[in-house]
Amino acid sequence: MYCYIHIPFCQSRCRYCRFSTFSWKNDIDKQIYVDFLVKEIVEYKNLDAIQRRFPSAREWQILLKSIYFWWWTPTSLNNSQLEKIINTLKNKFWFENDIEITLETTIINITKENLIEWKKLWVNRLSLWIQTLNNDSLKEIWRPNKEEIIEKLDTIKRDRRPVSGVNKSLSISLDFIIWLPYVKIWEVRKDIQFIIKKYDFVNHISLYVLEEYYDYPKKWQELSIGEDEYLEEYKNCKKYLEDSGFSRYELSNFAKQWFECLHNKAYWDHSDIISFWLWSHWYLNQTRYAYPNNFKDYYAWIIDYKEDLSEKDLFLENVMFWLRTNGLEKIVYQKLNKEKINYFIEQKLLDIEDNKLILKDDWVTLIDYIIKEII
């Protein structure tokens, strides 16, 4: 079983962010929400769904393989609040010996004191938002500057304390974004190269492309690389990462061996996931659930929606996930539109390797269109 903890707070909003986050909430409000989250875990109203999935199990017999704190800045909570949440989960469920506990964080929250406390809480994976090392771009998107990023990564480098309670050292994942303003061609690759050579503890890289359909400032497009260049940048980054010992296990995610994110893979494999806090989603036994995105309904224990996936639904989602990850096995792609698949192979958008149907790197930006056509 995998666990997701949704934290909808940030200290400030990044300029490229278009998601719902509460950056204006005060400490009293946050404590109220944490107290309710703890109550939700203790009185878990959806335990009946778990018991239907595992009829012979009690909640204390359910084994958690990972806990993922995300959406948007979990470290906007203080360490005592994080401790209260984790300890409540420990009292409710069993933790696997090598459980993966991920904390998403902005770079400003990296301090020697926080690293010590997080490791005491069994946190063994940090996901940090770097995005770019270009100071003009960082200023434009309202992010800390390069010098502060380097200072904080140096803080991690100096702290070699082991993580308490689990058989893992601290794993570090960094996020980068292609197509940000002021960032020139090859610059993202150079940033990644600089980071990897300087910090050998970085073992996971997430590489995203800025979504073009959002209403960003008009000048961003003029200040960014061209549409014909961002795919080239992605391919350059991919090649460098693979040459440096990272494997791409999903279109946007690269990891050294044994450092793939367990929680991400759980989503793509349709593994059972429970979640807590407003606007979070969970999945059990081919049924997907979601909490509402407003506090009034969330406090009333309302389930926003429940979706029972048919075998056809599950198959179509698997096609989408598998083409983004390891490719489609022959037994799978033979059930799809053969005419479209053959056309895309002729056009060199798709290929057959090791008896799997895979997406060619030149066409990663067309994956949604390709999937729509072949199913």
pLDDT for residue 141 = 94
Query: Angle at the Cα of 365 (from 13 to 265), degrees rounded to 5?
Result: 70
pLDDT for residue 14 = 80
pLDDT for residue 293 = 84
Q: Residue 264 CB: number of other CB atoms within 10 A? A: 21
Structural domains for the chain: 2-268 (3.20.20.70), 310-375 (no CATH)
Which residue in the block uniquely carries the two structure tokens 């794993």?
Answer: 171
DSSP string, 209-225: E--TTS---THHHHHS-
Distance CA 325, CA 321 (A): 6
Which residue in the block uniquely carries the two structure tokens 């440096």?
Answer: 244
pLDDT, one tens digit per residue, over 113-145 is: 999 999 999 999 999 999 999 999 999 999 999
Burial of 72 (0-12, 13-18, 19+ CB in 10 A): buried
pLDDT for residue 327 = 96
pLDDT, one tens digit per residue, over 278-320 is: 888 889 889 999 988 888 898 888 888 899 999 999 999 999 9
Question: Which amino acid appears at position 79 of this protein?
Answer: N
- Greater model confidence, 208 or 17: 208
Which residue in the block uniquely carries the two structure tokens 């301090």?
Answer: 111
Distance CA 234, CA 364 (A): 9
Q: How far apart are the first and last CA of the chain?
A: 30
pLDDT at 13 over 80: no
Distance CA 357, CA 359 (A): 7
pLDDT for residue 137 = 97
For the beta sheet containing 350-353, the strands, ordered from the edge strand earlier in sequence to the opposite edge, are 328-329, 356-359, 350-353
Tokens (6 digits) for 291? 């909490």
pLDDT, one tens digit per residue, over 323-340 is: 999 999 999 999 999 999
pLDDT, one tens digit per residue, over 218-235 is: 899 889 998 889 899 999
pTM of this prediction?
A: 0.92
pLDDT for residue 61 = 66
pLDDT for residue 53 = 66
Instruction: Give the pLDDT mean for 146-151.
Output: 98
